[in-house]
Amino acid sequence: MSQSFRRIDELLQMQHISLLIDIDKDNELKTREIHNNLLQVCLAIVNNRTQYESHPGLEDQILKLYLSNIHAGTADRQQYIVDQIMCIKHLVNRKAFSLNEKQVRWIHAKYQNYFEVRRDIQYNERKEARLTKVVQEESEKYRSKPEIGRSPVPARNQGTLRSARKSGVSNRSS
């Protein structure tokens, strides 16, 4: 585990924060609400919107209150991430809701670091796949070529060149 993740784990333990979401297996409606809310928030982080219009909208003031608990200016990056995680947890545990375009933009702005990390990971995966493909194509291309340093002269001619050198015959014109 990296030092950054250890620090986040320490912060969660020090603040007695539980990331577990209590799901009542007997209450299927509550489980669907949690699923819907988590989907809403995750899609808002990546600046997408879902089609769950059947649920009531979340009030702007409530969302602003949750998002105001995320302090972007904090010097401790791990505490910033813990604040973001806790905001997600609180939103997920609410009654089912849907987000409007403005609210999606607010959430996306507060979670820009998650969006950027996701974008960078996808970029690096595509880059690695292209590099692997190029290396494979190049290795196949050069697999049939002769090794560098080997003489391209056939073996029968090499013998006559050696005997000509020994006898003092030169190919140069004087």
Indicate the number of domains in the chain. Answer: 1
The pTM is what? 0.56
Q: Does residue 59 belong to any structural domain of this protein?
A: yes
Q: Does residue 125 belong to any structural domain of this protein?
A: no
Phi, psi of 159 (to 5 degrees): -65, -40
DSSP letter at 72 equals T
Q: Does residue 100 belong to any structural domain of this protein?
A: yes
Q: What is the dihedral of CA 45, 48, 50, 55, to 10 degrees?
A: 50
Q: Does residue 129 belong to any structural domain of this protein?
A: no
Cα–Cα distance, 99 to 102 (Å, whole number) = 8
Residue 150: strand pairing partners: none
pLDDT at 95: 86
Range of the domain at 75: 29-117
Q: Does residue 132 belong to any structural domain of this protein?
A: no
Q: Averaged in consecutive runs of 10 residues, what is the pLDDT profile of the chain (174 residues)?
A: 64 65 70 83 82 77 88 74 86 86 89 79 90 88 66 55 55 50
Q: Does residue 174 belong to any structural domain of this protein?
A: no
pLDDT at 174: 45
Phi, psi of 62 (to 5 degrees): -65, -45
